[in-house]
Chain A
Amino acid sequence: DQQVKQNSPSLSVQEGRISILNCDYTNSMFDYFLWYKKYPAEGPTFLISISSIKDKNEDGRFTVFLNKSAKHLSLHIVPSQPGDSAVYFCAASRGDRDDKIIFGKGTRLHILP
């Protein structure tokens, strides 16, 4: 039973264009969502997060959008740069529980020159 789903295993985007990574969740009790970025042979690093009381959070080139009614969130990267090529993990947690985070399986983003 996968509570956090990233249905696109991979995505290729031209450098300079917008990258949009999508994530769906099934548990309506999730109230905090995170995106992590992972390079080969390294651990995931935190990128950006959003609380369920918001529908948008922006940090530089990265923006996360949350649609609670659809149980859907997306990460927008604009403009895309070669260094953005990595695996992106969507994750979710419940504020009334503990520190546990549920991760999706990841989407591999490849930025084309």
Chain B
Amino acid sequence: DAGVIQSPRHEVTEMGQEVTLRCKPISGHNSLFWYRQTMMRGLELLIYFNNNVPIDDSGMPEDRFSAKMPNASFSTLKIQPSEPRDSAVYFCASSSLQGRNGNQPQHFGDGTRLSIL
């Protein structure tokens, strides 16, 4: 079984540019999560979707960040314009249980390491 697939694995770009991170969740999973990992703040939840609908975006840092899930097999996280402080590792995760994650842990992709110069 393929796990959560993220692309690109690494992204280096100049500040002010638009950045798009992509995620393909595990087939059959109906919840999708975007996280950001930094040394200072650890692993932070940015936004999550249930059945392609955004449920909680309170972790999205600013209006420069946006996320979409046009269908059950694809999601994007976009940063426009990007800034050096956005440099971090961004993870996507998916799970199969809606409303109660107790017995269905989240499965993570290998992340996108983003560097904004």
Query: Which residue, A36, A49, A89, A101, has most C-beta atoms of chain B within 10 A?
Result: A101
Q: Is B70 an interface residue (CB 8 A)?
A: no
B32's closest neighbor in chain A, by CB?
A99
- Residues of chain A at interface, number, CB under 8 A: 23
Complex partner residue of A101 from B50, B97, B101, B107, CB under 8 angstroms: B101
Complex partner residue of B105 from A34, A42, A51, A100, CB under 8 angstroms: A34
A100 to chain B, nearest CB (A): 6
Assess the A46–B102 pair: CB atoms within 8 A: no
Assess the A99–B101 pair: CB atoms within 8 A: yes
Assess the B101–A93 pair: CB atoms within 8 A: yes
Assess the A43–B4 pair: CB atoms within 8 A: yes
A interface footprint on B84-117 (CB within 8 Å = 1, 0 otherwise):
0000000101010111111001111111000000
Interface stretch, picked from A68-76, A77-85, A102-110, is: A102-110
Q: In the docked arrangement, what's the CA distance between A100 and B100, Å?
A: 9
A42 partner residues in chain B, CB cutoff 8 A: 110-111
B37 to chain A, nearest CB (A): 9
Which B1-59 residues have a C-beta within 8 angstroms of A?
4, 31, 33, 35, 41-45, 48, 50, 55-56
Assess the A100–B42 pair: CB atoms within 8 A: no
Q: A99-B31, A100-B48 are in contact. Are A105 and B42 (CB under 8 A)?
A: yes
Across chains A and B, which 10 residue pairs bring their CB atoms closest together, nearest first?
A: A43-B108, A105-B42, A46-B105, A103-B43, A99-B101, A32-B102, A43-B110, A99-B31, A44-B108, A43-B109
20 new A-B pairs (CB below 8 Å) besides A32-B102, A46-B107, A101-B101?
A: A36-B105, A42-B111, A43-B108, A43-B110, A44-B43, A45-B108, A46-B105, A93-B102, A95-B100, A98-B55, A98-B56, A99-B33, A99-B95, A99-B98, A99-B100, A99-B101, A99-B106, A103-B43, A104-B42, A105-B41
| Chain A interface residues toward B at CB < 8 A | 32, 34, 36, 41-46, 49, 51, 89, 93, 95, 98-106
